[in-house]
Amino acid sequence: ELSRFQHFLTLSLAYKQTKEDKYYLEFETQILDWIKENPLGLGINWSTPMECSIRAINLIQAFHIFEERIPTNLKEIIITLIYNHGHYIRNNLEWSPAKENHYIADLTGLFFIGIFFNKEKWISFSKKELEKEILNQVSEDGVDYEASLNYHRLVTEMFLLILILSKNNNIEFSNIFKMRVENMCNFIMYYIPSSGNAPQFGDTDNSRILDIWNKNINDHRDLLTIASVLFNRGNFKSKCKYHKKLALLIDKKEFDKLESEEITLTSKAFKDYYIIRDKELFIMIHCGHIGRNNFGGHGHNDQLSFVLSYDKDDYIIDSGTYCYTSDKLLRHQFRSTSYHNTLLINNEEQAEIQINSPFDMKFKHPAVCDQFEEDEKEIMFIGHQNNFKRKIIYNKVTQEIIIEDKTNKESNLQFNLHLHPFIKVAKKENKYTLNYKIKIFTEDSNLVTTKYSSGYDQIEDSNSISIKKYGNYLKTIIQF
């Protein structure tokens, strides 16, 4: 997406590091061509205010780094372009009754542009709306309400950038705002297993504001690097991942000075998500709304679905997303109930998928957690969704997981366990051995080929254990 101008930051950093003029000249050629080919308010690159915000933020960053090299006449042209972006965003905010990351991005762009011009109206408006939206879109314990962990990552990035910019310009956000952002980072710390890859619950989008982050879209640990300094959290530092480009946002000396605090993460309940941990075991369960307080959007039919990682490897995974609108059949396939580690009843979707609505579903039924408890011997989760009840018990002593699925009446049941492509599977009757470490005991089942997407526009073959039965009870056992 070249019109986001994220590569301008790369060019400006290359110029700053080498002082080679070819990097500046490429920037100058491209910006003049872009202005010529994209008249204000016309064409696809002016159709979405979020895109305008990302473009403006990156242009501002590149402008500051290139500033000494840019001739006066071009400075005036670029400054005018940035100002026009501010006017366009302010007059075309992506407002809806259940707002999403687009609206946060619009406000983030307006806040950056407002500070660039010291335009108080834009600063105060965006600040006021950001304060309001974080309460609407983020739970008290720090969970973004779009039912997608990768969108949680994107929104957290925007809020962190806001806090850094406000700190550098002596603008004070409320303690509630800062606490919500800190809790968003705390949620990230908890949902990252020892593999380093965040589960892909909900839509997996490769979108970022600045192109300085880890290229692995599912590794969210560099956000903890920023948060460790911003919130003085040694436990964030112990779980983070540092690389040189992050020095654009934080003082490396402050990061080095911060003492790392090693902690053992435990089982924990968050809004709509439940995490079971024990030594090298990590299980995360989605149980709640289908996104935006059940308004929909980036959520999938994954209620009571779970993922499982063990000893630095991801075993049972979310299949991902692959695409939005380029292939509607694959879009809906990856959103479907059967493409998640949950129960498919009578071949009916948890929420009806509409072929021409890639971001909506009919008859959304949220899931409810009935019990989440831990004692010395076991950790137990019980939840239900419509006429389906799931119990997951982890026995700490025997290192065994028992999954019990029940329905109100006898039905055709199907439970697919989606495996990471790197997992080696050995099958003997209804017992499966994964990487010689994990055993899964099922009822009548087969190993079938399925699809896995590690990021947007990426797809490969994988395997799933497909369990089928007619009845109202299904039991699956996982041993370590």
Q: What pLDDT does residue 59 have? A: 98
pLDDT at 96 over 90: no
pLDDT at 95 over 90: no
Q: What pLDDT does residue 115 have? A: 98
What's the angle, vertex CA 169, arms to CA 166 and CA 175, rounded to 5?
35
What's the angle, vertex CA 344, arms to CA 347 and CA 285, rounded to 5?
155
Q: Give the mean model confidence (pLDDT) for residues 173-192.
A: 98
Residues in Cβ contact with 451 at an 8 Å cutoff, skipping those fewer than 6 apart: 319, 322, 330, 333, 334, 339, 459, 460, 461, 462
Helix pair 72-91, 21-37: axis angle to 10 deg: 50
Q: What pLDDT does residue 355 have? A: 84
Q: Give the mean model confidence (pLDDT) for residues 319-323.
A: 96
When the pLDDT of each residue in the chain is averaged and rounded to a whole number, the result is: 96
Residues in Cβ contact with 360 at an 8 Å cutoff, skipping those fewer than 6 apart: 296, 297, 354
**Percent of the chain residues past pLDDT 70, beyond the cut:** 100
Contact (CB, 8 A) for 405 and 413: yes
What's the angle, vertex CA 86, arms to CA 84 and CA 89, rounded to 5?
110
Q: Which residues of 120-142 are buried (b: 16+ CB within 10 A; e: fewer)?
A: eebbebbbebbeebbeebbbebb
Q: What pLDDT does residue 294 have? A: 82
Q: Give the mean model confidence (pLDDT) for residues 51-79.
A: 98
Rounded Cα distance, 110 and 53, in Å: 7
Q: Give the mean model confidence (pLDDT) for residues 346-371.
A: 90
Q: What is the DSSP letter of 348?
A: B
Q: Give the mean model confidence (pLDDT) for residues 214-231.
A: 96
pLDDT at 297 over 90: no
pLDDT at 1 over 90: no
Q: Give the mean model confidence (pLDDT) for residues 455-474.
A: 96
